[in-house]
Chains A and B, each alone.
Chain A
Amino acid sequence: MSEVQPIQLPLARGSLMRKAKPYLFILPILVFAVGFIYYPFFKTFLFSFSTVNAKGVITGFAGLDNFNYLFSRRDFKIALENTLKITAINVPVTVLITMGLALLANKKRRLSPVYETMFTLPMAIAMSAAAMIFKVLLNPTVGYLNYALGLDFGWYQSRDYALYGILMLTVWMGIGFDFLLFLSAFRAVPEQLIEAGIMDGAGWLSRFFKIQLPLISPTILYVTLTNMVLAMMVSGPVIILTQGGPARSTTTLIFMMYNSGYGSANYSLSACISLVAFALTFALALLAFYVERKRVHYQ
């Protein structure tokens, strides 16, 4: 049938211009993709194996020296640990909270629009605005949280708690969007399946684990992946709230990259950190895919 055929523009009119047209349409996005995504990535790669001066110009080949130097630094180990810790906590906590919220809001009720809006509202708040609010809210003297909970330490001033203070913010910021994803996933589960479960005498728990959970597993994977990437890249809240401190307790990989590149003009070191962060994130994403594959296979 002609409608399933892609449009073939008549060759009679097929001047060079006609042939070039689709390429011209793609050109703008391609130029910027190359200029601001592929080129900087390639350059980062190049920098990590080179000596680079403070102006960002390559002055020589360094082999693995930059990496050796990076891996020998104590603050790198701390940054790596902090980043992985943030990821290890942030991802499951976000998945559980947003999935729980979606279950709570799943059935449409009279007040649904009200609390659905409440659950999604954090996504309208800019990271820096949220960070400033949390800075006040979690302040040991003027903040309301410590007063309400009867605590007396400074969240962002204590080396034991600062990372958790950052985590509170990152988890909170992720609530809105992931809740929406889970909500539409739960609502897409066919009603008949749930009803069949009820008929078979399946309780709430087994309905959840046997029917809903397998069906929403693509969403779980997606939320896990996006949160992993976000958590591995955390740096904004650190810049605003703690500057990596106290005593490096909140230094993350991207914060260290930002600091050594933008702050100290050590571009080769900054490039190495960037590559490590990228490689780790990529590996974690592959791992998540692998686990998901396996799980689906054995079902």
Chain B
Amino acid sequence: MSGLKQRRMLGGIAVQITALLVGLTIIFPIIYGILGAFKSPAEFSAYPPSFWPKSFAYTQNFQDAFARVPFLRYGLNSLIVALIGTTARLLFAVLAAFAFAFYDFRFKKTLFLVILATMMLPGDTLLVTNYLTVSRLGLLNSYLGMAITSFVGATQMFMLRQSFLTFPRDLKEAGQIDGCGDLRFLATILLPISKPVLVTLSVQSFVTLWNAYLWPLLVTNSTNMRTIQVGITMITSFEDTNYHLVLAGVTLSLIPAFLLFIVLRRNIHRNMTAGALVG
């Protein structure tokens, strides 16, 4: 009996060590990228290539990267676009979910399907025609132009509706009799109760928008309006491969999404996987 136990324990340790090694392999590119940000140009061109930087006190790359491209401005642009997009997407999704969960009206099912079916049209295939629309609206090189295509969150609407449906309907009726208006009910009762879902969906939207590349690239051409994800690819060029600066920029760009991810990992983990199978 104790022999079996011991074997189980040893097996468990072996599995954990294997998992750690596999995990290290998976995050190797990230570690490599961050370490590279601390390497001097000389260390970079040396052969054989080094894994560890000589010193973590070497911060010249970050300073040079800041001097070369307006990083703070890029970060601010990304932040604004991500906030506009997340706010509008969540607001519209909340309103629609509220209607679908608590009202009965004609064409309810059809409208619901019309919104859900947007998930079947991959955004990438619509890039060029959306570019024409945004350009015609005069929104090139604007925050609104960068955020506007992300305002429709069918997945978010669906998950919020699911969450709202769990709210006992007679409680809402009771509130109504007490003179609690619809929007007040939504703002003071329903939303606070749905906070966990809202937080997850917001973080998810924020990270997606913060990380977006193709659309912001398409609709901006002035240096001042570039987002950080577009900016970091522009530090390098064919003639001039400043890998040490690139990695410094990349490392800086990782920080916000990274922090959000680590802090909210459990929350995201639970809610994302719960929602993913329906979305």
**Which residues of A are at the interface with B, using a C-beta cutoff of 8 A?**
2-3, 5-9, 19, 21-23, 25-26, 28-30, 32-33, 35-41, 43-44, 47, 56, 101, 104-105, 107, 109-111, 114-115, 117-137, 139, 141-144, 147, 172, 175, 177, 180-181, 183-184, 218-219, 222, 229, 232-233, 235-236, 239-240, 254, 257-258, 261-262, 267, 270-271, 274-275, 277-278, 281-282
Contacts and interface: CB of A to CB of B under 8 A. Distances in A.
B248 to A, nearest CB: 11
B131 A262 contact: yes
Nearest to B266: A113
A28 B20 CA distance: 47
B95 A111 contact: no
A132 B126 contact: no
A19 B105 contact: yes
B121 A122 contact: no
B194 interface: no
Contacts of A277: 124-125
Interface of B: 12, 15-16, 18-20, 22-24, 26-27, 29-30, 32-33, 36, 44-45, 47-49, 51, 91-93, 95-96, 98-100, 102-105, 108, 111, 114-115, 118, 120-133, 135-136, 148-149, 151-154, 157, 168-170, 172-173, 176, 182, 207, 210-211, 213-214, 217-218, 229-230, 232-233, 236, 243, 246-247, 249-250, 253-254, 257-258, 260-262, 265, 269, 272-274, 276-277
Contacts, number: 280
12 contacts: A7-B104, A8-B104, A22-B105, A26-B96, A30-B115, A37-B118, A119-B26, A127-B213, A129-B211, A142-B44, A254-B124, A267-B128
Contact of B29 (A39, A104, A172, A282): A172
Contacts of B99: 21-23, 25-26
Given A33-B118, A236-B213, A271-B128, A126 B19 contact: no
Contacts of A120: 265, 269
Given A128-B229, A180-B272, A278-B125, A121 B30 contact: yes
Contacts of B12: 109
A6 B169 contact: yes
Contacts of B105: 19, 22-23
A121 B265 CA distance: 10
B238 to A, nearest CB: 10
